[in-house]
Structure 1
Amino acid sequence: MLESKWGLRFVALILALFMFLSVNDVFDNLFNDDGENPESQMIEGVPVELQYDKENYYVSGAPSEVNVQLFGNNSNVKRLQTTRDFSVSLDLRNRDVGEYEEHFTVEGLPENVTAEVVPQTANINIQDLVTRTFEVQAEVSESRVGPNHQISEVNVIPSTVTVMGGESEMNRIQYVRATLNDSSRITEDRVEEAEVSVFDSQFNKLDVRIDPTDVRVEISVDERSKEVPVEYEVNGEVADGHTLEDVKLNYENVTVFGSEEVLANIDSVNVEVNVDGMENSETKDIEMELPEGVSKTEPAVLQAEIEITEN
């Protein structure tokens, strides 16, 4: 039959029909009475919706996400794996204060798909809602500050947040911190966004609600500096027949800038006033001999008022 033209056409038609039926899951529906594919798919990280009276109660112990194992028609399961067009919830609207083991509910599945939540239950603790206001402290790591700078001021805006939770959790609160996630070097004033977290005395993060959850942190920095005296030395001799009467610097002290280690080793700044061959009084700019590691000085240049008289 395969040697004839019509025989080849017939075989090609059968193969094409077989592929069409396979792609459209016809065989699955024929050989599985319930229309489900024996294979299943695990959907990870599905959000959990809590349904309860948020005005009066606080719920702890519920996971924010669960994994869901889907069983059923292959095409529908694959579609749900992509779209996640279903929801997982814990309905606690008929529960009062107390501890419960609750089953998750999966909604939005087509008729030929079933689901199993992993884990199947959650241990829930329902408490009366307690609301308090706390001041927020900002944590700025010193390791982020440039070696020639230091933090002068840190302001948190808003400075307070509202914390809501069960009484047992609220009584454990010791620290309300704004944690900065940026790790870049700080060498100038800047503003950063920070997430607010609440901790107990052992720095365990507490399961509470915070409003607002994020704050603005304004960081002000100054360059490290130190004021030191200026010591001068006169070099050279004035011209013959003249006398050096006096030398006065316009600043007795200057401010030097640098790292903490450099500044610790500086007690003074030395300058040289060269009068060699001078015949008349004048005011000269004097360069300072800066120790290694000093980034700048204020003022940057000194002036020496040199008084000379003729004999």
Structure 2
Amino acid sequence: MLKKLFNRPIFYVIISIFFALILFFVSKSTAYNASGTQLRTVTETYSHTIENVPIDIQYDTDKYFISGYSYEAEVYLTSTNRIKLDSEINENTRRFKVVADLTNVKEGTTEAELKVVGLPSEMNATVTPKTVSVTIGKKMTKSFDVKMTIPENQIADGYEVDQIEIANNQVSVTTNESTIGQIDHVEAVLPQDQVLGEDFSGAVTLQAVSSDGTILASVVDPAKTRVNVTLKRLTKEVPINLSITGILSDELSNIDYELSRNTVTITGTKEELAKTDSVRGTVDITGVSKNMSKTVSLSASNVTIMPQTVTVKLTTTKK
């Protein structure tokens, strides 16, 4: 009976319709998915914040001098391409830069817009701040004397500056027209973390300053100079306070004394030197019956005495 069924034309018609329906639904499903109505491609976005990106300010460097602006900005990068993002994060392979175009700006103070240029495709950037305040003035160059003053808090207690030698006694300073008139001199500045407890020799930064010490925006050439600083101990000259102790011999009516020196030099901190008005010494006259000399040690609290001993000449008077 099955054999008869397979031989009938109607069987092949039914089979054809069945496979046609299968092909139809498969094709419809593929088209449905390809349309994106149900299947979605998820694209990941990567981001990174780069701090301290230098600002490239474009202006006529031969004619003008600019000041008063921030030198660095923060850039927030986003990209769907991880490789490109990593390339821009790396300072050595970075293509973008932050610029402020001041080529057509007049003298004075202006708000310059910051833009990110040179950014690769598939990337977006946001810069912070969006603008910077810039002062533009006519460029001027003038020579100034170099001086150096070391603050007391940068000198170890018990020392003072004896001598300062500066390699460059005069340097050139470039700034704008209004600032050049405010410059009093160029200061050689010891690093703030440096406290001198011994002689110093090294390169230090140069800064143009006003008469009250205010640092002024400028370019100093050279930017550094070598200095030699010689220190000396804080000293003070004080008298010797000599005391006589012991028993006067029965053979003598009196003993006079004479010091080989009347004063000595003491060294110490500023505070201890201020408190010390003299040094002490004691000579024992017990057993002295004739003219003689004795060496006496000197003492004082919290200071060093130079010399530490003194000679006392004793002159006797017989009864």
One-letter code aligned to 2:97: V
User: How high is the sequence identity, in percent, across the aligned residues?
Assistant: 24
In structure 2, the CA distance between the partners of 1:217 and 1:243, relative to structure 1 (3 Å rule), is same
- Deviation of 1:167 (Å): 0.9
Residues 182-221 of structure 1: matches in 2 within 5 Å? Answer: 182-183=192-193, 185-191=195-201, 193-199=203-209, 205-221=215-231
- Deviation of 1:190 (Å): 2.2
Distance 1:284 1:115 in 2: 88
Q: TM-score by structure 1 length?
A: 0.70
One-letter code aligned to 2:51: E
Give a deviation string over 1:111-135, Cα, whole Å, max 9, x none: 3334343344545544321012223
One-letter code aligned to 2:268: G
1:149 to 152, 159, 162: 159
Residues 210-289 of structure 1: matches in 2 within 5 Å? Answer: 210-237=220-247, 241=251, 246-288=256-298
2:120 to 98, 107, 110: 110
Distance 2:68 2:44 in 1: 35
In structure 2, the CA distance between the partners of 1:242 and 1:140, relative to structure 1 (3 Å rule), is same
Tell me how large the CA RMSD over aligned residues is.
Answer: 3.7
In structure 2, the CA distance between the partners of 1:109 and 1:265, relative to structure 1 (3 Å rule), is closer
Give a deviation string over 1:244-281, Cα, whole Å, max 9, x none: 66533211222222333433344433422223113454
Q: Does 1:60 align with 2:67?
A: yes
One-letter code aligned to 2:239: P
In structure 2, the CA distance between the partners of 1:271 and 1:136, relative to structure 1 (3 Å rule), is same
User: Which residue of structure 1 aligns with residue 307 of structure 2?
Assistant: 299
Query: Is the partner of 2:142 in helix, strand or coil?
Result: strand
Residues 27-38 of structure 1: matches in 2 within 5 Å? Answer: 31=41, 38=45
Distance 1:214 1:258 in 2: 34
Q: Does 1:45 align with 2:45?
A: no
- Deviation of 1:287 (Å): 1.3
One-letter code aligned to 2:75: V
User: Which residue of structure 2 aligns with residue 98 of structure 1?
Assistant: 107
8 Å contact kept, 1:229–1:253: yes
In structure 2, the CA distance between the partners of 1:281 and 1:114, relative to structure 1 (3 Å rule), is same
Q: TM-score by structure 2 length?
A: 0.69
8 Å contact kept, 1:90–1:102: no
2:139 to 125, 129, 132: 129
User: Which residue of structure 2 aligns with residue 180 of structure 1?
Assistant: 190
Distance 2:305 2:68 in 1: 59
8 Å contact kept, 2:57–2:102: no
